[in-house]
């Protein structure tokens, strides 16, 4: 498993809110779900994102937007401001006191005008445990990718099918949203160039990519710099120098960071014993793992588990 696939494993569209909105101005949508990620694809028309920090981002046809949660944000029509009268909508199906359910909005076409000038697909993603936090740390508060109009036509057809609530329609939209999230993030990382995270840039590096693929496929192995260099097919010295230059830290520092992140997820989201977790992240015994975890996280594994599950 490559690093991006590993990060995406913690956030899925499974059972998430999926909406097909068709709107005529003036309108506003208030997003209060606190979802880790919200994705909006503009099929027709456009609007303006009003972000929690006061920033504004115009979006138009073919744009796919990913907004990092959990703060409330708005999407308004292009001529609207929040102090003008308009039709208001709120997406809050993940909130603890929400009146709606996932089934109420999932796959439904809604809005104030069936032939409205603006049409959107909105997907609010659920997190499965704490693994998604690593992905969120790699993303800006909002990112925008422009797609071709043929993608919009295809998505709107799929959403219209889901609105009929035919057999498998929700599963279809879930899978489409998962696919769209992967494609959008991959495109954004590719376009980010030197601004992309180092672990993503390394996937295109002919020396580092084989070694990182081997590590992420078998993190329980007792990896050394020499073993990673062997996977890369270069000398230990060349590999260590190249790794530090591209990744900004030595190989074993990176491996330890990944292992500690994975250990946090396992401690928070599973009932596995400390010994089992130690083995799965590459430590020979629970004692060595516990010492390393406390050194890097400031608390013992058992204390971290108690705090994260309280």
Query: What digits encode the pLDDT tens for the residues 36-57?
Result: 888 888 888 889 999 988 889 9
pLDDT at residue 100, as a whole number:
46
State how far the Cα of 296 lies from the Cα of 259, in Å rounded to an integer.
11
**Phi–psi pair at 143, nearest 5 degrees:** -135, 150
For residue 204, give the DSSP letter.
G
108-111 and 11-23: which strand pairing? parallel
Question: Cα 267 to the chain's mean position, in Å?
Answer: 21
pLDDT at residue 229, as a whole number:
96
Length of the chain: 310
pLDDT at residue 295, as a whole number:
94
Choose among 84, 156, 87: nearest CA to 120. Answer: 156
State how far the Cα of 253 lies from the Cα of 287, in Å rounded to an integer.
20
pTM exceeds 0.95? no
Beta bridge partners of 59: 47
pLDDT at residue 161, as a whole number:
61
pLDDT at residue 104, as a whole number:
40
pLDDT at residue 17, as a whole number:
59
Q: Cis before residue 70, ω within 30 degrees of 0?
A: yes
State how far the Cα of 295 lies from the Cα of 285, in Å rounded to an integer.
16
pLDDT at residue 101, as a whole number:
39
State how far the Cα of 49 lies from the Cα of 29, in Å rounded to an integer.
10
State how far the Cα of 123 lies from the Cα of 133, in Å rounded to an integer.
18
pLDDT at residue 130, as a whole number:
67
State how far the Cα of 161 lies from the Cα of 245, in Å rounded to an integer.
49
pLDDT at residue 103, as a whole number:
37
User: Low-confidence residues of the chain, pLDDT below 70?
Assistant: 1-2, 10, 12-18, 79-82, 84-85, 92-116, 127-131, 148-170, 310
């Amino acid at each position: 498993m490559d690093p991006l696939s590993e990060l995406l494993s913690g956030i899925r569209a499974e059972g998430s809110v999926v909406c097909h909105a068709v709107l005529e101005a003036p309108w506003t949508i208030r997003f209060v779900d606190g979802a880790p990620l919200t994705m909006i694809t503009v099929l027709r028309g456009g609007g303006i994102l009003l972000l929690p920090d006061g920033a504004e981002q115009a979006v138009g046809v073919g744009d796919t937007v990913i907004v990092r949660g959990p703060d409330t944000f708005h999407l308004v029509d292009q001529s609207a401001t929040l102090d003008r009268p308009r039709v208001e909508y709120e997406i809050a199906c993940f909130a603890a006191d929400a009146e709606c359910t996932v089934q109420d909005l999932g796959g439904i076409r809604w809005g104030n005008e069936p032939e409205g000038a603006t049409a959107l697909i909105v997907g609010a993603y659920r997190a499965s445990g704490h693994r998604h936090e690593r992905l969120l740390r790699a993303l800006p508060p909002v990112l925008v990718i422009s797609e071709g109009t043929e993608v919009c036509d295809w998505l709107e057809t799929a959403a219209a099918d889901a609105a009929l609530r035919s057999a498998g329609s929700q599963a279809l939209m879930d899978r489409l949203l998962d696919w769209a999230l992967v494609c959008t993030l991959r495109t954004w990382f590719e376009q980010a160039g030197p601004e992309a995270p180092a672990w993503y840039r390394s996937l295109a590096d002919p020396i580092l990519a084989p070694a990182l693929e081997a590590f992420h496929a078998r993190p329980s192995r007792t990896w050394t710099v020499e073993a990673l260099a062997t996977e890369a097919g270069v000398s230990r010295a060349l590999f260590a120098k190249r790794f530090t230059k591209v990744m900004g830290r030595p190989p074993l520092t990176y491996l330890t960071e990944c292992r500690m992140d994975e250990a946090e997820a396992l401690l928070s989201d599973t009932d596995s014993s400390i010994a089992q977790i130690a083995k799965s992240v590459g430590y020979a015994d629970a004692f060595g793992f516990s010492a390393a975890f406390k050194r890097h996280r400031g608390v013992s594994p058992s204390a971290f588990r108690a705090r994260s599950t309280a």
